[in-house]
Amino acid sequence: MKALAGKLRAVYRLVCFAGVTVQISVVFSLVFPFLKEASRMRWVGYFSGRLLAALGLVVQARGSMGMGSTLLVANHVSWLDILAINAARPVRFVSKADVRHWPLVGWIVACGGTLFIERERRSDAMRVVHQVAAALQTGSQIAIFPEGTTSDGRGVLPFHASLLQSAVATSVDVQPILMRYSDRTSPISDAANYVGDTSLAQSMWLIANASGLTVHVSFLPVTVGPHPDRRMLADQLRSTIETELGAAQSGLH
């Protein structure tokens, strides 16, 4: 009976998720064309939180985000990361190009002004660096995932430094963000992982089945610009996030 109840709860969550997607379709199709960017971002943040709640997730944000032009640098665990950061504080993102074609999620991030990068083409990184730098110079806050792929959430993969050149070139502040998922039994939950050959549908089912799943969005201390070197900056940011993750696993946060 307990297993059946769990499956019914998961189905209910997915139905709720589908219901929110219908609302998003209406608002984004009919209202967005007439809104200014600030209003669009508020709607993106609102619906990101609604989608996470529909799947049974609780968002816990800690720390404060820097003001003005800021490059946000986060570790990458799940396709939920973009929704979670947006729920805490809506910002623009740099994301891999294939996310643009994902059902719903791609639409939401595109409406939020996401810049898409084709990671298979090394030359495309320079194009995106210039776009990010231009956006930062106009006061935007842009978030990137310099690992370039998702991890299992128990460690931080090496950072690719290329996109950090935008912060070096513009001398804007850079703020690391720790993304972590926990549940009722562990400070690091596997339910939200999006690694290996896991499909989006399989991931959604695992998330909907989880109990007490919480996404922690920790805004860590800002690294003030200017920055002398992108590789040194990448190592510094990775170390900061890794240290914070270790503290969380040890129960210190």
pLDDT tens-digit map of 192-242:
998 888 888 899 999 999 999 999 999 999 988 889 899 999 999 999 999
Residue 96 has pLDDT above 70, yes or no: yes
Tokens encoding 45: 């943040």
Res 85 pLDDT > 90: yes
Q: Using the predicted structure, report yes or no on whether residue 250 has a pLDDT greater than 90.
A: no
Question: Beta 214-219 vs 58-62: how paired, if at all?
Answer: parallel
State residue 126's pLDDT score.
79
The predicted model gives 173-194 an average pLDDT of: 94
| Residue 151: closest CA among 207, 190, 105 | 190
Distances (CA, A) of 223 to 18, 81, 93, 234: 40, 22, 19, 11
Residue range 113-158, pLDDT digits in tens: 777 777 666 666 778 888 888 888 888 899 999 998 899 999 999 9
Half-sphere exposure of 89 (CA within 13 A, CB side): 18
Model confidence pLDDT, tens digit, residues 15-63 = 999 999 889 888 888 888 888 888 988 999 999 999 999 999 999 999 9
Give the DSSP letter string of the chain.
-HHHHHHHHHHHHHHHHHHHHHHHHHHHHHTGGGS-HHHHHHHHHHHHHHHHHHTT-EEEEES-PPSSSEEEEE----THHHHHHHHHS--EEEEEGGGGGSTTHHHHHHHTTPEEE-TT-HHHHHHHHHHHHHHHHTT-EEEE-TTSS---SSS-PPPP-GGGHHHHHHT-EEEEEEEEEE-SS-SS-STT---TT--HHHHHHHHHH-SS-EEEEEEPPPBPSP-S-HHHHHHHHHHHHHHHHHHHHTT--
Confidence of residue 104 (pLDDT cuts 50, 70, 90): low
pLDDT at 86: 93
- Taking the C-alpha atoms of residue 130 and residue 168, their distance in angstroms, rounded to an integer, is 12
Assign a CATH topology to domain 2-249: Glycerol-3-phosphate (1)-acyltransferase (3.40.1130)
* Predicted pLDDT at 112: 72
Find the range with the poorest average confidence among 1-5, 82-86, 190-194: 1-5
* Closest to 57 (Cα-Cα) out of 83, 76, 77: 83
Q: What is the pLDDT of residue 47?
A: 92
Report the pLDDT value the prediction gives residue 114, as an integer from 0 to 100: 79
